[in-house]
A and B are shown apart, each in its own frame.
Chain A
Amino acid sequence: EAQVTQNPRYLITVTGKKLTVTCSQNMNHEYMSWYRQDPGLGLRQIYYSMNVEVTDKGDVPEGYKVSRKEKRNFPLILESPSPNQTSLYFCASSLRREGGEQFFGPGTRLTVL
């Protein structure tokens, strides 16, 4: 089944404890992206990747890191989480970097205490 998977789905952590949210897609998509969703603000892009080893900042990259060592995986790293990073996170992928339908993962709800 074609899908985007994220892990974990839920995470409660404490300020400053490094964490990684994994994202994987099995559709051989070029383009992958991370978003955070907060009430009233819609979806805001954190980072995106146009292909392996090619990443770029989105609208709200501060406090986050990403890597794209393999085409299928695009992990999101929070080196030192803070409470303002409490949010719902979505990974998405699309076939081409130029656009087209984005497929979203199920989401990761992160709480930073």
Chain B
Amino acid sequence: GQQVMQIPQYQHVQEGEDFTTYCNSSTTLSNIQWYKQRPGGHPVFLIQLVKSGEVKKQKRLTFQFGEAKKNSSLHITATQTTDVGTYFCAGKSRSGWGSNYQLIWGAGTKLIIKP
């Protein structure tokens, strides 16, 4: 079926380094959401992007939605130990993928802080 590809699967960084995860869809999305899942926890909503080319910031986190609404990224500046977890994107298709009310999830990027 249709997928949202998310890369990389893992990223190891030193504390203080930056982190970026990317999501790519083969079809146009109506919106994309980002979630964070701490180890042993459940996904927690971070943000939703709707507009073409949209950029939103939450403190050290920057979220972007591509001009064509087919890709998105999450960038964390100067990672801290509290950033550890897996980051998921979830895209809602504009049309074509099953129901209009389904989200298609990326496989997630696990952020690991090197000791």
Residues of A with Cβ closer than 8 Å to B?
Answer: 31, 35, 40-45, 48, 50, 56, 58-59, 90, 92, 97-107
Known: A42-B88, A44-B105. A100 touches B48 (CB 8 A): yes
Are A41 and B107 in contact (CB-based, < 8 A)?
yes
Given contacts A50-B101, A100-B48, 20 further A-B contacts (CB under 8 A): A35-B105, A40-B9, A41-B107, A42-B105, A42-B106, A43-B43, A43-B90, A43-B105, A45-B102, A56-B99, A58-B98, A58-B102, A59-B1, A97-B101, A99-B48, A101-B45, A102-B33, A102-B103, A104-B44, A107-B42
The A/B interface has a contact count, at CB < 8 Å, of: 60
- The answer to whether B85 has its CB under 8 Å from any CB of chain A is no
B70 part of interface (Cβ distance < 8 Å): no
Known contacts A59-B1, A90-B43, A31 near B102 by CB under 8 Å? no
- Whether A48 pairs with B101 at a CB distance below 8 angstroms is yes
Contacts of A42 in B (CB 8 A): 6, 88, 105-108
Task: Looking at the assembled complex, report how far the CB atom of B35 sits from the nearest CB atom of chain A, in whole angstroms.
Answer: 8
| A60 CB, nearest partner CB in chain B, Å | 10
Instruction: Give the complex CA separation of A43 and B98 in angstroms.
Output: 16
Q: How far is the CA of A99 from the CA of B90 in the complex (A)?
A: 11
Q: Tell me the B residues contacting A by CB distance below 8 Å.
A: 1, 6, 9, 30-31, 33, 35, 41-45, 48, 88, 90, 92, 98-103, 105-108
A111, B107: Cα distance in complex, Å: 22
Given A42-B88, A107-B42, verify A101-B102 contact (CB < 8 Å): no
| B44→A98 contact, CB < 8 A | no
Question: What is the CA–CA distance of A35 and B37 in the complex, to the nearest angstrom?
Answer: 14
Between B31, B48, B88, B99, the greatest number of chain A beta carbons within 10 A of the residue's beta carbon is seen for B99
CA gap between A44 and B44 in the complex, in Å: 16
The reply to whether A90 and B42 contact each other, CB–CB distance below 8 Å, is: yes
In the bound complex, CA of A59 to CA of B103 (Å) = 10
Of all chain B residues, which has the CB nearest A41? Answer: B107
